[in-house]
């Protein structure tokens, strides 16, 4: 289908974009890679009056270090995430996850900011950002503020972004050297959204789990941080009893819908399977 009529704007700075969004009102939408917004418009499920294209803002692109943190511009593409030597060395779970998003054509245009900012529970990066304890940098007419990824998601397509605010960057403190990581995703075919997926990052000390963070994708109204499941694993050597308890705790926080990915009960169980597999891979990598 063809989208409804809209006005198109291409600002050159974050300040210009924020001012445009404030002036144009609640019917205006920022445009990143467009892979979430444009299909909604084509199906006439959304009809913004104005699109504010962020693609011309150089300050929103690139990957750099600042002190102990890595900063990723919101308009950095998934393809650029995959190709970054810095991220491959310091935060390899990002590359692993990006390679599982859609297909190469989408990854050339799709941005990390778009993936995390629109509040779609089926996107992959929100769970990974929760696991990394990332911080999102938001800009609005009142200035800049920072929100933890674990506090950002409120419901389906509902986030901590205020009216007229845009996500400008993601700040990540890399996990320590030698950490284990994994993102496991069950999908029906290449390019599909997850039936269920799980991200895990952990560290070991004397063969036992010293720290653990995990989150689940597409089995609730938002990405789900599996805090209790990880608490049950700290201090263990990943024995069968501990795995079973942690998996049950991970499954308990899910509330998936029955849809074309499968019945709710199946998706809950697959979330547990993906969590267990990601946990095993992360543990193996950390050894």
pLDDT at 36: 83
What DSSP letter does each residue of 98-141 carry, written as one string?
Answer: HTTSS-HHHHHH-BHHHHHHS--TT-SHHHHHHHHT-EEEEEET
Q: Residue 232 belongs to a domain with what CATH number? A: 3.30.390.50
pLDDT category at 191 given cuts 50, 70, 90 is confident
For residue 45, the model assigns a pLDDT of 79
Please give the Cα distance from 193 to 122 (Å, whole number).
6
Neighbours of 171 (CB within 10 A): 15
Asked if 204 and 248 sit in the same domain, the reply is: yes
267 found inside a domain: yes
Residue 126 sits in the same domain as residue 198: no
Rg (CA), the chain: 19
- Based on the domain organization, do 155 and 93 belong to the same domain? yes
- Looking at the domain assignment, is residue 254 inside a domain? yes
Judgement on whether residues 242 and 278 belong to the same structural domain of the protein:
yes
pLDDT of residue 190: 82
279 domain-assigned: yes
- State residue 76's pLDDT score: 97
Prediction pTM value: 0.95
CA-nearest of 124, 149, 128 to 138 is 149
Residue 232, in any domain of the structure: yes
pLDDT tens profile 29-61: 999 988 888 888 888 878 899 999 999 999 999
* CATH code, 44: 3.30.43.10
Do residue 75 and residue 161 come from a single domain? yes
Q: Which of 30-39, 87-96, 150-159 has the lowest mean pLDDT?
A: 30-39
166 and 204, same domain (yes or no):
no
Please determine, for residue 196, whether its predicted confidence score (pLDDT) is greater than 90.
yes
Which CATH number does the domain housing residue 111 bear? 3.30.465.10
* pLDDT value for 51: 95
Q: What's the mean pLDDT in 75-95? A: 98
Last residue of a domain, one of 124, 153, 172: 172
Closest CA to 34 of 3, 59, 72, 64: 3
Residue 1 lies in a domain: no
- Check pLDDT > 90 for residue 131: yes
Same domain, 160 and 195: no
What's the CA dihedral at 186, 188, 192, 198 to 10 degrees?
A: -10
H/E element, 180: strand 180-186
2 domain residue, yes or no:
no
Average pLDDT over residues 242-249: 98
Residue at token pair 């397509």? 157
Q: Which domain holds residue 38?
A: 7-50
Backbone torsions φ then ψ of 2, nearest 5 degrees = -110, 130
Residue 11, pLDDT above cutoff 90: yes
> What pLDDT, on a 0 to 100 scale, did the predictor assign at position 43?
82
Give yes or no: residues 64 and 167 share one domain: yes
Q: How many domains is the chain built from? A: 3
Domain-located, residue 55: no
Q: Which long-range contacts (CB under 8 A, 24 or more apart) does 251-258 make?
A: 251/275, 252/228, 253/216, 253/220, 253/224, 253/226, 253/228, 253/229, 254/196, 254/216, 254/219, 254/220, 254/224, 255/219, 255/220, 255/221, 256/196, 256/218, 256/219, 256/220
> Regarding predicted confidence, which is higher, 82 or 45?
82
Considering the domain architecture, whether residues 210 and 241 belong to the same structural domain is answered as yes
* pLDDT averaged over every residue in the chain: 95
- Give the end of a domain, one of 132, 148, 172: 172
Please tell me whether residues 234 and 156 are part of one structural domain.
no
Residue from 241, 237, 170 nearest 207 by CA: 237
Q: Show which of 172, 193, 220 is a domain's final residue.
A: 172
State residue 84's pLDDT score: 98
Is the domain of 148 the same as that of 65? yes
Instruction: Say if residue 66 is in the same domain as residue 149.
Output: yes
Q: Is residue 237 part of a domain?
A: yes
């Amino acid at each position: 289908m063809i989208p409804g009529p809209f006005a198109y704007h291409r600002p050159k700075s974050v300040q210009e974009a924020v001012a445009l969004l404030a002036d144009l009102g609640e019917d205006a939408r920022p445009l990143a890679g467009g892979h979430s917004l444009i299909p909604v418009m084509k199906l006439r499920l959304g009809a913004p009056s104005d699109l504010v294209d962020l693609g011309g803002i150089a300050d929103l692109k690139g990957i750099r270090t600042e002190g102990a943190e890595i900063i990723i511009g919101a308009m950095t593409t998934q393809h650029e995430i995959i190709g970054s030597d810095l991220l491959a060395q310091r935060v390899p779970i990002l590359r692993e996850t990006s390679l599982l998003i859609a297909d190469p054509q989408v990854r050339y245009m799709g941005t990390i900011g778009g993936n995390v900012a629109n509040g779609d529970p089926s996107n992959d990066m929100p769970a990974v950002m929760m696991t990394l304890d990332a911080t999102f940098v938001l800009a609005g007419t009142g200035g800049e503020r920072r929100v933890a990824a674990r506090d950002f998601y409120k419901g389906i397509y509902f986030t901590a972004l205020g009216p007229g605010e845009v996500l400008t960057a993601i700040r990540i403190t890399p996990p320590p050297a030698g950490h284990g990581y994994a993102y496991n995703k069950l999908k029906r075919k290449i390019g599909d959204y997850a039936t269920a997926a799980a991200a895990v990052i952990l560290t070991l000390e004397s063969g036992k789990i010293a720290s653990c963070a995990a989150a689940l994708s597409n089995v609730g109204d938002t990405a789900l941080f599996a805090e209790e499941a990880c608490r049950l694993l700290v201090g263990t050597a990943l024995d069968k009893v501990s795995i079973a308890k942690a998996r049950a705790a991970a499954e308990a926080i899910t509330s998936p819908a029955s849809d074309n990915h499968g019945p709710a009960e199946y998706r809950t169980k697959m979330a547990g399977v993906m969590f267990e597999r990601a946990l095993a891979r992360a543990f193996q990598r950390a050894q």
